[in-house]
Amino acid sequence: MSGHEDFDGQVMGDKTYQQALVLMDQQDPLAEKTAAFEVPRDLVYLDGNSLGCLPLAAKQRAREVVEQQWGQDLIKSWNLHQWIDLPVSAGEKIARLIGAAPGQTICCDSVSVNLFKLLSAALAMQTGRHVVVSQQGNFPTDLYMVQGLVRQLGGDRCCLQRVDDDDIGSALTDDVAVLLLSHVNFRSGALYDMQAITAQAQARGILVIWDLAHSAGVLPVQLDACNVDFAVGCGYKYLNGGPGAPAFLYVASRHQSQARQPLSGWMGHLAPFDFDHDYEPAPGVAGFLSGTPPVISMSILDAALDVFADVDIRQLRRKSLALAGVFLQAVEQSPRLSGLCLLSPADEAQRGAQLAYRHPHAFAICQALIAHGVIADFRAPDILRVGFSPLYLRFADVGRSVEVLTRIMQEDLWRDPAYAVRHKVT
Ligand SMILES: *Cc1c(COP(=O)(O)O)cnc(C)c1O
């Protein structure tokens, strides 16, 4: 890691600018939350939208669940340490963050698997309708899961229609069963109007599934108030649950007696430990569980969620927009960075907690950033993404990241052939 100290204060110039950022940190009501995370000192981490940082409480819990609960208490821990309740208890902690009253949110599986369950349930509730409408630019797994259902059910029972954002409204016709949308676009960061779109779809008899992967834990989500039917979301992004953390799903109370999912495993059974021969779903959202919960990773996520216990989501929103604002403005004002073309909506009310820039050499620029201690990410074909996770990112860090970026562009550092090498994960 080469030192950024060398050019601290040189590229962005001005000491007063640095001081302004330090002042913003001093006045930040969330500043002390940084101490709840392990953030490597020499890094500026702008990738919390892909993998959140490690909460110290999660680290502690990992040790506890492995050493004491598994190591010493073994199978007694299902009751003794409430392992069996984790899907519900972690689910309810998430519910608070997404505007869901109790009894509708459960922690389980991955976003992909949960989408399969919800899509199947929703399609079965819609007799005579077979079309699933989604965004053309939705996260691929969301579209892939629909494609899998098309193969399984046949085109007359399930068919995927991908539409551009501007055409969502006009695609909501009488043959549409389900509208599946990401709340925040994973590439551009564009934020969709959950309330308006949900109402518009429901007025035409369509059930709506929202994917909250890029909004849960970073901006206010009001599932109940927006009368949303179903939702899924991710545990390892803004919820900081760790790599491969379990995901969550939401089923509105009003649908719970009717909605049935096909992965009818024993953990979703009314009485798993009766070991009945026949499946009977548990009432409520618990019927959307399938197999045994991944106790270690769900415990870690459960501990990570406690970081949010005393946090006001509106405060998170305000800070992430302010952090992004600092980055955006600095890029706009730097002639060296004029090659970066903003893909995200310029209006902050219309975007989530990340910024995306197009550049023909985005991949190499991203690699150069990483080599110089600024972790951003790249999305094919030409997008540089920077995420502003408000729980642990400081304004001074954002200032430093723009300095590094400016130096990389000014000195053409990204042209180093080492930065062209592509690995499996980008
Ligand atoms: C990250 C992300 C996912 C991840 O899905 P998994 O099955 O949990 O790996 C799904 N959808 C969106 C929109 C995402 O951003």
The DSSP element (H or E) to which 366 belongs, if any, is helix 362-371
CATH class of 11-54+311-420: alpha beta
CA of 173 to the centre of ligand 1 (A): 27
For 242-275, write each residue's pLDDT tens digit.
999 999 999 999 999 999 999 999 999 999 999 9
CA of 237 to the centre of ligand 1 (A): 9
For 213-234, write each residue's pLDDT tens digit.
999 999 999 999 999 999 999 9
Residue ranges of the chain assigned to CATH 3.90.1150.10: 11-54+311-420
> Average of pLDDT values for 419-426?
89
Please give the structure tokens belonging to residue 161: 């229609």
- Atom of ligand 1 at shortest range from CA of 211: 13
- For ligand 1, whether the C-beta of 49 sits within 6 Å is no
Radius of gyration over alpha carbons of the chain, in Å?
Answer: 22
- For ligand 1, whether the C-beta of 77 sits within 6 Å is no
- HSE of 369 in the Cβ direction (CA atoms, 13 Å)? 26
CA of 181 to the centre of ligand 1 (A): 12
3-state DSSP assignment of residue 121: helix
CA of 140 to the centre of ligand 1 (A): 8
Residue ranges of the chain assigned to CATH 3.40.640.10: 82-308
- For ligand 1, whether the C-beta of 129 sits within 6 Å is no
Residue nearest atom 4 in ligand 1 by C-alpha distance: 111
- Atom of ligand 1 at shortest range from CA of 182: 13
For 134-183, write each residue's pLDDT tens digit.
999 999 999 999 999 999 999 999 999 999 999 999 999 999 999 999 99
For 277-317, write each residue's pLDDT tens digit.
999 999 999 999 999 999 999 999 999 999 999 999 999 99
Cis peptide before 220 (omega within 30 of 0): no
For 9-28, write each residue's pLDDT tens digit.
444 557 888 899 999 999 99
- For ligand 1, whether the C-beta of 182 sits within 6 Å is yes
Residue nearest atom 6 in ligand 1 by C-alpha distance: 111
Active site residues: 139, 211, 236-237, 385
DSSP, residue by residue, 87-123? HHHHHHHHHHHTT--TTSEEE-S-HHHHHHHHHHHHH
**Rounded CA separation 413/123 (Å):** 52
The yes/no answer on whether domain 82-308 falls in CATH 1.20.140.10 is no
**Rounded CA separation 266/80 (Å):** 21
pTM: 0.96
**Rounded CA separation 189/343 (Å):** 8
